[in-house]
Structure 1
Amino acid sequence: MEVFFRLLKTNRSLELWARNQGDAAFRLLHAYPLAATSGTLGPKRRAGDGQVPEGFYHLDRFNPGSAYHLSLGLDYPNNDDILATGLADPGGDIFVHGSDVTVGCLPLTNAGIEEVYLLAVAARAAGQSSIGVHIFPFPLTENELLRRAASPHVAFWRGLQLGYAYFEAHHCPQ
């Protein structure tokens, strides 16, 4: 089994997608509601801004001893984030975790993180070396982008649109 996570900020839920090894497409297994949110639509660009990142990430840490019940760390900041922030400190330590506390993380209920965590551990044990996490502000369709044409983040969101559209068409990350 392989897993993949996707979050649309406006939906306020973390989608868990899975597929059997060898299958081309992932299937949506469950959407876990976020227990809290912080920040606004737009990418994370500096430490302490309270923003949830937007972009293409991978899980890079499993933390069973988390202060927030359980946690899965994202590889934020990635190279794209570092380039976009210039000389600013982009922050770090972004997690999917239990509890209802957040300053840029993705908190689920404790029951939700238990399921997500165990499925990620099972996927890793089954040989999945990289577990993707895509975070989008909203569905990156042309209509949604046009609705937000005045936002200073439109060019950034258009850069994410290709990855979003590919997953929508194929149910597989690029």
Structure 2
Amino acid sequence: MNLLRTAFLFCLAALVAGCAGGDYDDRASVPIPPKLKQEMAAKGMSPADPIMVRLYKQESELEVWKRNSSGRYALLKTYPMCRWSGRLGPKMREGDRQAPEGFYAVTPGLMNPRSQFYLAFNLGYPNQLESALGYSGSALMVHGACTSAGCYAMTNDGIAEVYAVAREALAGGQESFQVQALPFRMTPANFAKHRDDPNMPFWRNLKEGTDLFAVTRVPPHVSACGGRYRFTPGTQPGEEAADPLAACPVSLPDPVAEAAVSKRVRDDQTIAQLAVSQPTVSAAYVDGGMHQSFREILRRSGPQKLAALTSGKIEVSRPDAALADPYKGAEMAEVGAE
């Protein structure tokens, strides 16, 4: 009996350590790089402090925000994204190649240390609202490599660092970290450019969440009602509707929420002013995008060279489409402009 128990415990330990696969290594346990830990310390952060992640399609960038000693979140680092697929707008159907847009909560169970794309974490798509709206799809990830069929690909080196930061935050007691997957930086300039896009009502709903974060620097509490997201201050979670499609509960007056509304009113005024002289963007559908730094390597040296630098043996997905990214010339707004 003791022999069987010992064997069982040995096998369990092997599985946890990743020894079941012959080519598995300890990539999921690699420490946060010393330089990044120094940057954390300089900003009043520790590896165990909670994080929030933002994804931007148009700019092909991922941001890691982290809580500092003030209790508010500050930008830790911005990473270039190697590949995302689809177009601007939410994911609605399995197989549409759309990288999702929305608000997601990544729990420890959604972390994948054995991804075929080096390392990964699952966004948890479809979330409660998306399920209620009938959206379909599964295994939508942020992962390594430079290939996408609905995911956000960060390169192996990029995901290794993001994964380590997320791992330590979860180990430090954060139950889940919020991911805000957005079409672009939510600035008046970008809203003016895309003002004729049919996804604008959805994007304005997403902006309610980013506006609340902008005035609090604390990830908002996210629920759903009336077929849309409902955001309340993260420190004061509001009442949740049992049915994401049911009418929203009445919101009580709240100075923090009112500050976010005031910001939105000011932004709307700026959008209206910009719309007078700024043409709209009407990009033809290609297939996703790629950060300019990786596009330059692809253009100069070809997909095999880019794959060797970012993905190991995994090929770059649809390189011609990446070079034809209609948003590559989009103006990059500063984070502070949000």
Question: Bigger relative contact order, structure 1 or 2, given CA contacts below 8 A and separation 6+?
Answer: 1
The one of 61, 75, 87 equivalent to 1:13 is 61
Q: CA deviation at 1:168?
A: 2.2
Give the gaps of 5 or more residues in structure 2.
Answer: 1-48, 221-338
Q: Give 2:102's match in structure 1, choosing from 38, 55, 66.
A: 55
The equivalent of 1:83 in structure 2 is 132
Tell me by how many angstroms 1:130 deviates. 1.3
**How far did 1:140 drift?**
2.5
Pair 1:145 & 2:191 matched: yes
Separation in 1, partners of 2:71, 2:63: 18
User: Given residue 160 of structure 2, which amino acid in structure 1 is its aligned partner?
Assistant: E
Does residue 100 (structure 1) correspond to residue 140 (structure 2)? The answer is: no
The equivalent of 1:2 in structure 2 is 50
- Deviations along 1:20-71, one digit per CA (max 9) or x if unpaired, are 4x64311111111111121111000100111111110011311111100011
Q: Which amino acid aligns with 1:46?
A: R
How many residues matched?
Answer: 170
Structure 1 window deviating more from structure 2 (134-143 vs 66-75): it is 134-143
TM-score by length of 1: 0.91
Q: Distance in 1 between matches of 2:118 and 2:189?
A: 39
Letter in 1 for 2:213: F
Please state how far the C-alpha of 1:149 moved relative to its aligned partner: 2.3
Return the alpha-carbon distance in structure 2 between the equivalents of residues 133 and 59 of structure 1.
7
Tell me by how many angstroms 1:169 deviates: 2.5
Q: TM-score, normalised by structure 2?
A: 0.48
Aligned identity (percent) is 39
CA contact (8 A) 1:141 1:161 kept: no
SS in 2 for 1:11: coil
2:114 matched to 1:68?
no
* Matched residue, 1:169: 215
Match of 2:166 in 1: 120
2:156 maps to which of 110, 123, 145: 110
Specify the code of the residue in structure 2 equivalent to 1:35.
C
* C-alpha distance in structure 2 between counterparts of 1:166 and 1:137, whole Å: 17
Which residue is 2:202 aligned to? 156
Please provide the CA RMSD for this pair.
1.5
Structure 1 stretches of 5 or more lacking a match? none
> Which stretches of structure 1, 4 residues or longer, exceed 3 Å deviation after superposition?
none
Taking the aligned partners of 1:110 and 1:139, their CA distance within structure 2 comes to 24
Residue among 78, 81, 84 paired with 1:34: 81
AA of the residue aligned to 1:30: K
103-112 or 145-154, larger mean C-alpha shift: 145-154
Mapped partners of 1:53, 1:128: distance in 2? 24
Partner SS, residue 137 of structure 2:
coil
Instruction: Give 1:142 deviation, angstroms.
Output: 4.1
Q: 2:72 aligns with which of 7, 10, 25?
A: 25
Q: CA deviation at 1:148?
A: 1.8
